[in-house]
Structure 1
């Protein structure tokens, strides 16, 4: 199919309208601020900036050096770190650069099992990480919690070089200081991947693991509400030079210059009382919607959540079918494994729900309870359609006012 310029403009318009008309509950997504979008589309997209500030491989980078240094400083202030690399294109690249910094080929990594909420880049068998390193997994316990004693026993038995604490779906607190203690005692590095909870950490709602970790990685979208990208943080001087070398020239040439400037805006916007209040509202909304599901008889990992997301077990329903049925009604979320899931990744037993995007649209208790009940109704009855109601809610709460 051939598209001319106007066809592409029409596709962009269709996507924009779609986003306005959909209830977005995908936990990995959010709506970037207008200012971060504007800066991500700046003229710096034309500038090749291979290297680091004051040490570039191309001329004409003096203005960009100012912006990258500002992004570094703002991220350090935000996460109380003394080192930051803002160049990773994504969270996955940030993780791999951290592996290159701390490990040698075929070293052993201990990470959370995918079905327990782990991430692909932490050692999934089809991911690059498992082809370079030996992977051993720990799982959530029978209460769906991180079990420090079980992790400690695995560290003693398997003797990994690296323990990864991070997840794509988890609802409870993590005792980073204890995990740091047991990893250090067993000569094991600790990497904290805070991609999903970085907004809560910089707002002070979740403990900052920067002093308990050798390296911390994060994405800049999700709960930070920026454009897509990654960042690496550390307070251990031994790793600063290695991290930089792992990103450039280890993984990439020039960074995405216009995105670095947008990251600066994101870090700046996340370091104020308005953002703290916004993050508090995300948490309130997540707790409200989770209560709706529990009241309607559904099981989650736990009866509460300390961040923006939670899992809902679908009993005898098929998650792929439910995901598609909800999308037809204007509601977006994703199918997901539940711990000890016997089903495959195409049609697992649960759905994952995140409240960041709806909170960005300024929805609160009344709307959150209504949407939660609508989802339950659609799951339980094949003949119910709520598309008009969803459209009405979305019109009342536009993404960008």
Structure 2
């Protein structure tokens, strides 16, 4: 082994130790199961599998066809869908596939504004979505909620071709039934991006919008607790072939074969009572932590959360500074816009907190309350240090036992 290889191994060890010694509250992250990690590193990393089962552009794909078909079937069972494409490399590519399927160039998209909790791929001005399509945004109302009446007025006025529902930072219920009704009434497609809440949906804790949506997209690495990737689902037969062709050859060549097998493991692991109980515990932990912040005088989007995440407004503090100070103390979270934020993306007014990862470590009420109070203490006094306490918690609850 050469010197560079030893350096590489050392970097991997440093990253592994860092993950073990940090309390991860980043809402977009989680810890993939050991099984899914092992399968993502299988010998299929060597195989090029351009195309679809029984219709590949290279020979020698018969074994992989079996795995991809299994992944498709498991994902359909998990989300009660009639169609699934498991090949997208990410949630953004899954969204792009949906756009290619439903839209033509310069068609209008109605989506939530980024500062209100929308996603980059839903029409942010610097993202491909706004370069190819015309974007109209809706915002949260004065109660920081999705307002169905506002959306209805915008649909009638702007006549978009597509309404996007599903957000990167929203902690309340979504009325999919009404949004389906009003979009269908106005000849508008409905895309549900469930990337953050897919684990809750397949656990039955949040309504499954498969029958209200023309297309559903999701990632596999957030509340589903798998390796990083995307997925596209639908119950509308009109779109099955178009979705497949929009992914291949529309935007990518060969899929990441070893990751497809890992996705199969993730879908299999997500379809049992242990996973349901895991998501129930996430919700319990999320509510506990939010309650502590309220007790300490902080403001969130709403007085409750129905999923793994919530926003905390930092008053006069600088979010970038708080993010860095917390990281030095062993706590990871991310700075985030608050609705009607007058600050820029580098230093917005809030932080976003997610409970999926620490729940994967089996952390519960006592430690959740402690971590919450530590965060408040650090925000209020930047000079206090809780490194030893955080290190003790992390040792007590290792990621992989």
TM-score (normalised: structure 1): 0.99
Separation in 2, partners of 1:200, 1:172:
13
1:265 and 2:265 equivalent? yes
Aligned to 2:167: 167
Aligned to 2:135: 135
Aligned to 2:186: 186
Aligned to 2:154: 154
Separation in 2, partners of 1:230, 1:352:
22
- 1:2-401 correspondence to structure 2 within 5 Å: 4-401=4-401
- Secondary structure of residue in 2 paired with 1:310: strand
The superposition leaves residues 349-373 of structure 1 with CA deviations (integer Å, 9 ceiling, x where unpaired) of 0000000000000000000000000
- Secondary structure of residue in 1 paired with 2:200: helix
1:192 to partner: Cα distance: 0.1
Provide runs of 4+ in structure 1 moved above 4 Å. none
1:271 to partner: Cα distance: 0.2
Q: How many residues align?
A: 400
1:3 to partner: Cα distance: 6.5
- Secondary structure of residue in 1 paired with 2:39: helix
- Secondary structure of residue in 2 paired with 1:136: strand
1:188 to partner: Cα distance: 0.1
1:124 to partner: Cα distance: 0.1
The superposition leaves residues 283-318 of structure 1 with CA deviations (integer Å, 9 ceiling, x where unpaired) of 000000000000000000011100000000000000
1:253 to partner: Cα distance: 0.5
Separation in 2, partners of 1:47, 1:229:
18
Separation in 2, partners of 1:157, 1:125:
22
Separation in 1, partners of 2:343, 2:294:
23
Name stretches of at least 5 consecutive residues in structure 1 with no aligned partner: none
The superposition leaves residues 68-98 of structure 1 with CA deviations (integer Å, 9 ceiling, x where unpaired) of 0000000000000000000000000000000
Separation in 2, partners of 1:187, 1:243:
20
The superposition leaves residues 85-117 of structure 1 with CA deviations (integer Å, 9 ceiling, x where unpaired) of 000000000000000000000000000000000
- Secondary structure of residue in 1 paired with 2:223: helix
Separation in 1, partners of 2:283, 2:350:
21
Name stretches of at least 5 consecutive residues in structure 2 with no aligned partner: none
Separation in 2, partners of 1:145, 1:29:
24
1:383 to partner: Cα distance: 1.7
Separation in 2, partners of 1:166, 1:115:
14
Separation in 2, partners of 1:51, 1:156:
40
Separation in 2, partners of 1:3, 1:192:
49
Separation in 2, partners of 1:211, 1:146:
20
- Secondary structure of residue in 1 paired with 2:121: helix
1:382 to partner: Cα distance: 1.9
- CA 1:77 to 1:301, structure 2 compared with 1: closer, same or farther past 3 Å? same
Separation in 2, partners of 1:232, 1:335:
29
What root-mean-square deviation, in Å, do the aligned CA atoms of Structure 1 and Structure 2 show? 0.7
The superposition leaves residues 297-350 of structure 1 with CA deviations (integer Å, 9 ceiling, x where unpaired) of 000001110000000000000000000000010000000000000000000000
Separation in 2, partners of 1:236, 1:80:
13
Separation in 1, partners of 2:14, 2:249:
39
1:166 to partner: Cα distance: 1.2
